[in-house]
Structure 1
Amino acid sequence: MQILNMDDVGTSPMRKYALEKIVQVMNKLNPARVMEGNFDIDLNSYARVYIIGFGKASFNMYAGIRDKVMEKLSYAGIIIPDDERHDEIFPELEILRGTHPYVSNLSVESSIKLLSHIKELTENDLVIVLISGGGSSLFEIPENGIDMDDIRRISSEVMDNDGDIYVLNHIRSTLSSVKNGKLARFLYPASVRAFIISDVVYDNLNIIASGPLVKPVAQVNIREMADKYINDNRLKNILAEKAVSGNLEDKYFLRVKNTIILKNLDFVDSLYSNLEGEKINLGSNVNGDVKLVSQDITDILKRLYNIKGQGFWFVCGGETTVNVTGKGKGGRNQELVSRMMEYMDENENFLFISMGTDGIDGKSIAAGGIVDNSTRIDNLASYLENNDSYTALSESHGAIITGRTGNNVSDIIFGFYGRTNNNF
């Protein structure tokens, strides 16, 4: 990964230092390198080896193990975002396309094609599954009798009735034939090794890509959810008929192993260890509305300064949310640093960076944003009210552009806080 507009955003030694640290960690924790280091399978134990993948990091994950699997490989195919491009080409790898963040007919068609190559599996076969962020929308096959219009309408009603992401995931999983552990039925009785890059807070295997190979931990009352969040009786009845959560037999999971090989905390810890000087690690479970998170983080920084009595670097990670009411361009990371800046006074020396590790932040071409005590944005409140943080930052040397990174472990929040304007 590289920052494509370093000349624009690296306007001071401190900015360049911070941005270069992020680049170093992103390259160190490249999915190909991490995948290679975590691949521990003796392929000689299997007659045939299949590889399927879905998510923003699946290409790089495959690249990391390609040399190790070629001799035994029967098929390799992945589903990646329709706008993702790679200069490197592997002749044996079928690259299919899907859409993100919303499921589309393209995702469904690609998913059906992907699984069509894996038939008549036996106990002597191995299926390696590469899972990363974005997989929930890129990989989808609805249950019989369900079409994409039904899924879209149900999703819309849930959101209109204030259902959160967990309600939405449970309901979507009910309508899917591959989510919530159901992919295991397709791959039975082969041995299955899933290598997973986590893009969710707390790294819950049931949530990452909607847990395609994870047995549901408890049965969910879908009918009760439907009554609460869906108004259309026809859609309620569809959900009731398809409510199979928790009914999968144990046999489908006896030969399935899920392994998280990379997560947000790995990035946070690596970045922290790579910093010089006074520093603090605030962990990787940052979540919540960006308006509240921006205030919470700046409050913590000010309190820590009162204890330390000197400026310090800080790093944390997670994923915030934004209640979008405007029509501007931006994303949660750019809005976060913009709002954090609002809590700063003239005597405070600060540098704030927040960026998505996938290189995409909301409805903009930026990966995230960078601000410091030299940043000046007139009418910032108006930009934020219109959810137009990209426009505000792009005009003030603050929009970080990387392009797609081929990785995805949520967001990194990083910077410096002090109360003197000492030279760096």
Structure 2
Amino acid sequence: MDDFNPRALLQDLFYTAVAAADPMKVVPACLPQIPRGRTIVVGAGKASARMALAFEQAWPGDMSGVVVTPYGHAEPCERIRVLEAAHPIPDGTGLQASQALLEAVAGLTSDDLVVALISGGGSALLPAPPPGVTLADEQALNAQLLKSGLSISEMNLVRRQVSLIKGGRLAQAAGPAHVVTLVISDVPGDNPAHVASGPTVSGGGTAIEALAVAQRAGLDLPPAIMEHLQESAQVVEIQAVRQHDTVRVIASAALSLQAAARHCREHYGIACEILSDAVEGEAREIGTDHALRARQLQAARGAGPLVLLSGGETTVTAPGNIGRGGRNTEFAMSFALGLHGSTGIHALVADTDGVDGNSAAAGAYADSDSMARLHGAAIDPLEALAAHDTGSALAKVGDLFVTGHTRTNVNDFRAIYLEPRGA
């Protein structure tokens, strides 16, 4: 195996994981029954346009609808209108998209079917502030949440309480129609109420819990949002029980990691272990933990290489100005620091949607030689971490991993290749 390339292996495992979550594969396998009445498709998220295209091509009956996806993620649908809006900070086009989705499900009957195509990223794409709250307020809230270090589930718990469409309210607007929600999950634990803040899934927190999360994170909420949450905390919102609705998670980190692990074993003959599909926490701390785990497992292992996989979503707490990068480049830099002095450990960490933070990369590579490359380029990794500029630093040594938009999103993917001792 003198010509073996660890980076090529890690790339192959990443693309295998992404392929397992491709809407063109998973949506056609989960079609509901054709209704007696109309079929209306709605959706939001980074994968929603591709989900709509897959549904359109597979659905044997009449249908119409509208979905919203980030700018640059559109697909050429014929019967489903595809709107584009801003992510991760909502914009006015998102307001129009929210209204379009609500209008699409208005006036339906019990004979009609609503198919909701939901994926990560939908929270920012569906701004719908309640009375007294403005789009500017919602934008300010999102900006704070993104720098707070809160988990995606905690952020979406807050977002659900400041919306006329999230938190199951889109399903309520569909009235007596049967709502089938197909979810590509980007949240650890795969609770569909937290994917895109659950526009068609009720539950997932209360205003009291949202206030507690905001207080714990030290958020300086806009006065209108604080007032809305305080007023909502005094009222128990009773939503009609929608027992006839269906919610199905059709792609997730767990399923993608399982696919990558099978491919690793069957195609390469390399042992593979999944550490977790729901890793959460500060990116740099998780990077350090993974480096320590990798070194320990390599030291304890006998003959033969080993691949470690993990998924989930780490976070970055950055209340001030930040440089270029995201949670995956921060993980990679911290992981590289933790490998200093080791040999034969290689990693790829990337977001399955193809975008890491504010960078143009999906993520980055890190290995036992990363520190030598960084020092050779006169880069201080600790300074890069302190400035949240790890993407710029890793770009200078050729360690960024660039994929472009993948049109799906099952969160972070991490693959670590351990050479056997003495290799």
Cα distance, 1:144 vs structure 2 = 2.9
CA distance in 1, matches of 2:54, 2:392: 37
Q: Is 1:32–1:62's contact at 8 Å kept on the other side of the alignment?
A: no
**What does residue range 92-107 of structure 1 map to in structure 2 within 5 Å?**
92-107=79-94
CA distance in 2, matches of 1:232, 1:59: 32
Q: Is 1:220–1:246's contact at 8 Å kept on the other side of the alignment?
A: no
CA distance in 2, matches of 1:180, 1:92: 27
**What does residue range 344-359 of structure 1 map to in structure 2 within 5 Å?**
344-359=339-354
2:173 paired residue number: 186
1:22 paired residue number: 14
**What does residue range 356-375 of structure 1 map to in structure 2 within 5 Å?**
356-375=351-370
1:333 paired residue number: 328
2:412 paired residue number: 411
Q: Please list the CA deviations of residues 340-383 of structure 1 after superposition, one character each: whole Å capped at 9, or x if unmatched.
A: 11112444211110000000001110001012334411222222
2:272 paired residue number: 279
1:318 paired residue number: 312
SS at match of 2:27: helix
Of 2, 21, 46, 1:56 maps to 46
CA distance in 2, matches of 1:60, 1:231: 35
**What does residue range 126-145 of structure 1 map to in structure 2 within 5 Å?**
126-145=113-132
Gaps of 5+ in 2: none
Q: Is 1:158–1:230's contact at 8 Å kept on the other side of the alignment?
A: no
Structure 1 outlier segments of 4+, above 6 Å: 156-164
Q: Which moved more, 1:306-315 or 1:266-275?
A: 306-315
Q: Which moved more, 1:231-240 or 1:406-415?
A: 231-240
Q: Which moved more, 1:293-302 or 1:217-226?
A: 217-226
SS at match of 1:370: strand
Of 255, 268, 272, 1:266 maps to 255
Q: Is 1:200–1:207's contact at 8 Å kept on the other side of the alignment?
A: yes
Q: Is 2:42–2:65's contact at 8 Å kept on the other side of the alignment?
A: yes
**CA 1:72–1:246: 2 relative to 1, 3 Å:** farther
CA distance in 2, matches of 1:227, 1:333: 25
1:265 aligned partner, one-letter code: A
Cα distance, 1:391 vs structure 2 = 1.9
SS at match of 1:77: strand
**CA 1:244–1:136: 2 relative to 1, 3 Å:** farther
**CA 1:389–1:128: 2 relative to 1, 3 Å:** same
CA distance in 2, matches of 1:223, 1:54: 23
CA distance in 2, matches of 1:374, 1:162: 30
SS at match of 2:167: coil
Q: TM-score, normalised to structure 2's length?
A: 0.87
**What does residue range 4-403 of structure 1 map to in structure 2 within 5 Å?**
13-39=5-31, 41-43=32-34, 45-69=35-59, 71-73=61-63, 75-86=64-75, 89-153=76-140, 168-216=155-203, 219-221=206-208, 225=212, 228=215, 235-243=225-233, 247-251=237-241, 253-275=242-264, 276-310=269-303, 311-324=305-318, 325=320, 327-375=322-370, 376-378=373-375, 379=379, 380-403=381-404
CA distance in 2, matches of 1:322, 1:206: 23
Cα distance, 1:146 vs structure 2 = 2.4
2:297 aligned partner, one-letter code: L
Q: Is 2:295–2:342's contact at 8 Å kept on the other side of the alignment?
A: no
Q: Please list the CA deviations of residues 186-221 of structure 1 after superposition, one character each: whole Å capped at 9, or x if unmatched.
A: 111100000001001111222111122222266542
**CA 1:110–1:215: 2 relative to 1, 3 Å:** closer
Q: Which moved more, 1:128-137 or 1:315-324?
A: 315-324
CA RMSD of aligned residues (A): 2.8
Q: Is 1:370–1:398's contact at 8 Å kept on the other side of the alignment?
A: yes
Q: Is 1:53–1:79's contact at 8 Å kept on the other side of the alignment?
A: yes
Cα distance, 1:64 vs structure 2 = 2.0
Cα distance, 1:247 vs structure 2 = 2.0
Q: TM-score, normalised to structure 1's length?
A: 0.87
Q: Is 1:366–1:399's contact at 8 Å kept on the other side of the alignment?
A: yes
Cα distance, 1:250 vs structure 2 = 3.0
1:341 aligned partner, one-letter code: A
1:320 aligned partner, one-letter code: T
Q: Please list the CA deviations of residues 63-111 of structure 1 after superposition, one character each: whole Å capped at 9, or x if unmatched.
A: 22213335321x221101023244xx22222111221112222211111
Q: Please list the CA deviations of residues 113-137 of structure 1 after superposition, one character each: whole Å capped at 9, or x if unmatched.
A: 2322333100000000000000111
Q: Please list the CA deviations of residues 207-262 of structure 1 after superposition, one character each: whole Å capped at 9, or x if unmatched.
A: 111122222266542696499455776653333334588523334x1222111000
Gaps of 5+ in 1: 1-10
2:33 aligned partner, one-letter code: D
Cα distance, 1:393 vs structure 2 = 1.9
CA distance in 1, matches of 2:187, 2:248: 15
